[in-house]
Amino acid sequence: MNKRYIVFALALFACFGGFKNINAGEDGIYKLETNATTEDLIKLIKTEGNKIKLLDLCSCKGIDLKDPKINLLYTRIWLLDLNDTDITNKDLQKILESCPLLADLDLNKCKNLDEKYQKKYETQEAIEELKNNLKKDLTQKPSWLIEKWQTLSTPWKWTIVVSTVAIPLIGACIFYKRSQSIQNLSSAIWYRLAPLLKRQKTVNQPLIAQRRYQI
C-alpha cells in the first residue's frame, strides 16, 4: 500500500476520527447530524474553529446554544443554518455578536424566536439590522420572563393559559355563591326585624323584647 496514502488516512482520522455526528466537507463546510450534542459542537469549534466557514445545525435539537463553552468568535463563519432549532432571542444575539463575517443566516421554523425573526437573511446588512432589532427588543422586554416562556413546550403553554383563565373564573363563581348566601341570610334577618323596628319608631320607645306568651 502506498505510504503516502497511509499517512493521509492517519492524518484524516486524527482530524475527524474523534468527531461524532459531524460531516466535515470541503471548503470549511460542516454539517452536524440531527442527533448531535452540545459536546459535539464544542469539540468541533475547538478543533476546527478557524476553518469553519459554513456551519449547518439544521434540526439539531440536542444542542444547547446557551452553553457558555460554545464560542464562535474564532471561527470564520459566512453562512449559518439554524433552521428548526431551539434557539431563543438571547441565544441568537450572542451568536451574532460572535460572527462578524456572517452574511447568510437561516432561522426558519425556530419556534422559540419571535415570529418576526423566523426567516432567512442573505446579506450582512440584513443581519446587522436583525442584530439591532434584537438588541432593542431585549432591552425593552423582561428577557428572563420571555426566555422562560419560550423554553416551555406547547402543552405547558396551553396549561398555563387555561389555568390563567379558569382559576379566576372558578374563584369568581365561588365568591358569587357565597355572596348570594350571605345576601339571602341578610334579607331573612331584615324581614324579621323590620316590623319590630317600625313599631318602636312609632311609640318612640327603646327596643324591648316582648314576651309572646304570659302565664
Which of 2-11, 51-60, 76-85, 94-103 shows the lowest mean pLDDT across its residues? Answer: 2-11
Q: Is the pLDDT of residue 137 over 90?
A: no
Residue showing cell 369568581: 172
CA triple 118-46-35, angle to 5 deg: 50
Q: Are 150 and 88 in contact (CB under 8 A)?
A: yes
Nearest-angstrom CA–CA distance, 45 and 60: 16
Specify the higher pLDDT residue, 197 or 207.
Answer: 197
Q: Where are the beta strands (DSSP E) in 114-179?
A: 120-121
Retrieve residue 190's grid coordinates: 331584615
pLDDT recorded at residue 144: 63
Whether residue 146 sits in one domain with residue 81: yes
CA 7, 16, 106, 130 torsion-angle sign: negative
Whether residue 138 sits in one domain with residue 40: yes
Q: Are 34 and 43 in contact (CB under 8 A)?
A: no
DSSP 81-147: E-TT----HHHHHHHHHH-TT--EEE-TT-TTS-GGG-SEE-SHHHHHHHHHHHHHHHHHS-HHHHH
pLDDT recorded at residue 25: 59
Q: Which of 98, 121, 151 is the last residue of a domain?
A: 151
Overall number of domains in the chain? 2
Whether residue 138 sits in one domain with residue 167: no
In this predicted model, what pLDDT tens digit does every residue of 30-43 receive, in sequence order?
999 999 999 999 99
Q: Are 59 and 84 in contact (CB under 8 A)?
A: yes
In this predicted model, what pLDDT tens digit does every residue of 67-86 receive, in sequence order?
989 988 888 999 999 999 99
Residue 30's DSSP bridge partners are 24, 55
Whether residue 195 sits in one domain with residue 145: no
pLDDT recorded at residue 58: 93
pTM over 0.75: no
Q: Which of 106, 135, 151 is the last residue of a domain?
A: 151
Whether residue 98 sits in one domain with residue 199: no
Question: Mean per-residue pLDDT for 155-160?
Answer: 81
Whether residue 129 sits in one domain with residue 115: yes
Whether residue 165 sits in one domain with residue 59: no
Q: Are 30 and 22 in contact (CB under 8 A)?
A: yes
Whether residue 106 sits in one domain with residue 212: no
Whether residue 166 sits in one domain with residue 133: no
Whether residue 185 sits in one domain with residue 145: no
pLDDT recorded at residue 177: 67
Specify the higher pLDDT residue, 210 or 107.
Answer: 107
The phi and psi torsions of 199 (rounded to 5 degrees) equal: -65, -45
Whether residue 82 sits in one domain with residue 24: yes
Whether residue 105 sits in one domain with residue 177: no
Distances (CA, A) of 10 to 15, 16, 40, 43: 9, 10, 21, 19
Specify the higher pLDDT residue, 117 or 154.
Answer: 117
59: how many CB neighbours lie within 10 A of its CB? 17
Domain hosting 180: range is 153-215
Q: Which of 99, 122, 151 is the last residue of a domain?
A: 151
Q: Are 134 and 114 in contact (CB under 8 A)?
A: no
pLDDT recorded at residue 126: 95
